[in-house]
């Protein structure tokens, strides 16, 4: 096993964790590490050394990418919001061809597994939520649970959910300043949720692998719609700039599957 390659793949997955609408686990699927990572988490006590080594080197890349990526993304969102989001949409769309090759839609029933989750997630997105984080440390534990669930379930972007709850900026601040109590509480929630969620996903991939991937694809499409709506409503929307940076993001993301 090449641990250096694992770190590099972790760096790429970590980028997906801080970009709104981009699923780090979808990138993990495209990089062929997703199922091995799920097996390692769900069987960590059964194959302890092998699991820790695999997750450790993959996790090093992810954590480094998230910490430094959060700082970089905060800068670009604060100074170049429009072109940053245009590029992000392109990055997400660029993952679709590689994902379609894996699921290979063949039957009419496949479309139901795509359409129904899409409708559900789209309706959920129409509700506006707001979370008050002042003087409530337990909320960071909940955010950690959400982060683990959306990290392991491909196609669901934790950042898209944080945007729905109006806490995305706070999420970036947690990782850009990791040496505090909020980060520790967040991490505790993450590890508790990650273990049990990986058990569920491991079962689904073994029993209903194709159906699971079809639902994941549906959620990925939903994330693209959310991001597109977020950009279109901006007062400085420019179709030419939008297309240029969308294509830039697409080319970068599409190259990951080569």
Q: Which residues of the chain have pLDDT under 70?
A: 1, 16-23, 26, 30, 102, 121-136, 154-161, 163-166, 175-178, 223, 226, 230, 233, 235, 256-258
What per-residue confidence (pLDDT) applies to 195? Answer: 82
Q: Cα separation of 63 and 2, whole Å? A: 19
What per-residue confidence (pLDDT) applies to 159? Answer: 66
Question: Can you tell me which residue has the tokens 């993304």?
Answer: 73
pTM over 0.85: no
What per-residue confidence (pLDDT) applies to 31? Answer: 72
Contact between 238 and 82 (Cβ < 8 Å)? yes
User: What's the half-sphere exposure (Cβ side, CA atoms, 13 Å) at 196?
Assistant: 6
- In degrees, to the nearest 5, what angle opens at C-alpha 47 toward C-alphas 46 and 50? 165
- The 3 state secondary structure assigned to 142-208 is HHHHHHHHHHHCCCCCHHHHHHHCCCHHHHHHHHHCCCCHHHHHHHHHHHHHHHHHHHHHHHHHHHC
């Amino acid at each position: 096993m090449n641990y250096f390659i694992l770190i590099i793949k972790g760096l790429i997955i970590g980028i997906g964790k801080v970009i709104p609408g981009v699923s780090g686990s979808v990138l993990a699927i495209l990089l062929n590490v997703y199922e091995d990572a799920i097996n390692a988490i769900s069987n960590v006590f059964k194959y302890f050394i092998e699991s820790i080594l695999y997750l450790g080197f993959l996790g090093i890349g992810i954590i480094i990418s998230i910490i430094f990526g959060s700082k970089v993304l905060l800068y670009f969102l604060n100074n170049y919001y429009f072109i940053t989001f245009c590029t992000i949409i392109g990055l997400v769309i660029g993952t679709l061809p590689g994902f379609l090759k894996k699921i290979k839609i063949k039957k009419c029933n496949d479309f139901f597994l795509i359409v129904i989750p899409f409708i559900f997630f789209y309706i959920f997105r129409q509700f506006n939520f707001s979370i008050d984080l002042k003087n409530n440390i337990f909320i960071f534990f909940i955010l950690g649970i959400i982060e683990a669930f959306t990290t392991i379930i491909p196609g669901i972007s934790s950042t898209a959910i944080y945007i729905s709850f109006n806490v995305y900026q706070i999420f970036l601040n947690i990782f850009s300043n990791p040496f505090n109590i909020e980060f520790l509480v967040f991490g505790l929630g993450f590890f508790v949720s990650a273990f049990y969620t990986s058990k569920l996903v491991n079962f689904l991939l073994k029993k209903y692998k194709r159906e699971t991937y079809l639902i994941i694809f549906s959620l990925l499409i939903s994330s693209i719609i959310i991001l597109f709506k977020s950009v279109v409503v901006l007062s400085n929307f420019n179709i030419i700039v939008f297309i240029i940076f969308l294509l830039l993001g697409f080319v970068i993301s599409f190259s990951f599957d080569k």
